Chain A
Amino acid sequence: QQQVKQSPQSLIVQKGGISIINCAYENTAFDYFPWYQQFPGKGPALLIAIRPDVSEKKEGRFTISFNKSAKQFSLHIMDSQPGDSATYFCAASTGFASGSARQLTFGSGTQLTVLP
């Protein structure tokens, strides 16, 4: 019930292309869905996040699409750049609506490589 399933495990995209990473969840109590970017030897950095009451959120080249009925959400990276090469993690948590931070349940990660 607490799992977040992420795919693909790895992704290779040409510079300028669109990178798409997908996640699915089971726990309908999740009410906060962030994406994190992690470079080797560094901690995860918050990239963008969405609540289940909206279907899409865009920040710069990064867009989250959210499908509440299917319990799926995805990250789209437009105009992918070599500097975007990193590992991306989706995550989910409960308690956002009540203002109390709860544990993050992470997906298994997607290693993105953007070729120059």
Chain B
Amino acid sequence: ETGVTQSPTHLIKTRGQQVTLRCSSQSGHNTVSWYQQALGQGPQFIFQYYREEENGRGNFPPRFSGLQFPNYSSELNVNALELDDSALYLCASSPGRGKAFFGQGTRLTVV
């Protein structure tokens, strides 16, 4: 186990709704990243937070937003859900030296 926990594990939402996914980082890790993994594909980088500040963003629209809290836990928020947002959302925490440890993911289904 990596010590990175995500909640919920599964979620079904309707198109147009908003969703919040949560991640608890491994102890001592001050960097958290979020990835989207569509079925049969590799994870795609959404954004990264370092000490509560956004520290990089991938090619995702602004309706994907995030937060990192003082205890280094994090949230991913997605507004105006689209069918193509259906995917496994992965949170990864890092101690700042490249190594990223992933949680088990949240499976989001948009109907």
Contact = CB atoms under 8 A, between A and B. Distances in A.
B58 A43 contact: no
Nearest to B104: A43
B94 interface: yes
Contacts of A105: 45
Interface stretch (B14-22, B62-70, B75-83, B95-103): B95-103
B69 to A, nearest CB: 18
B33 A103 contact: yes
- Give me the 6 closest cross-chain CB pairs, A-B, nearest first: A106-B42, A43-B102, A101-B94, A96-B98, A103-B45, A32-B98
22 contacts: A42-B105, A43-B102, A43-B104, A44-B102, A45-B2, A46-B99, A100-B50, A100-B96, A101-B48, A101-B50, A101-B95, A101-B97, A103-B48, A104-B43, A104-B45, A104-B92, A105-B45, A106-B42, A106-B44, A107-B42, A109-B40, A109-B41
